[in-house]
Amino acid sequence: MKWLIYLVAVVLLVLHQDFWNFSEYKPLVFDFLPIGLAYHAAYSFACAGLMFLLVTFAWPKHLEEYENIPSSPEQGDHH
């Protein structure tokens, strides 16, 4: 599952370069939104979904386990 999510991240990275709609403003989406702006709005939602997937399935859980280990009294609290 992690590799699929990483692949989606690479695909979104490539799709961020919107060179095919760069100089176009037509067609208008919903009769008022230029196509490039609509594309980047949809891209933003896709990135938010990707972040949800990354946090849910690809989060490094071993770091949280390390964080929950109580410190020994010899080390003290060095915050």
| Joined tokens for residue 52 | 């949800």
Q: What is the pTM of this model?
A: 0.68
Q: Can you give the residue ranges of every domain in the chain?
A: 2-61
How far is residue 5's CA from residue 53's CA, in Å, rounded to a whole number?
7
Per-residue pLDDT tens over the stretch 39-72: 999 999 999 999 999 999 888 877 777 666 777 6
Quote the radius of gyration of the chain (alpha carbons, Å).
21
Per-residue pLDDT tens over the stretch 9-37: 999 999 988 887 777 778 899 999 988 88
DSSP annotation of 17: -
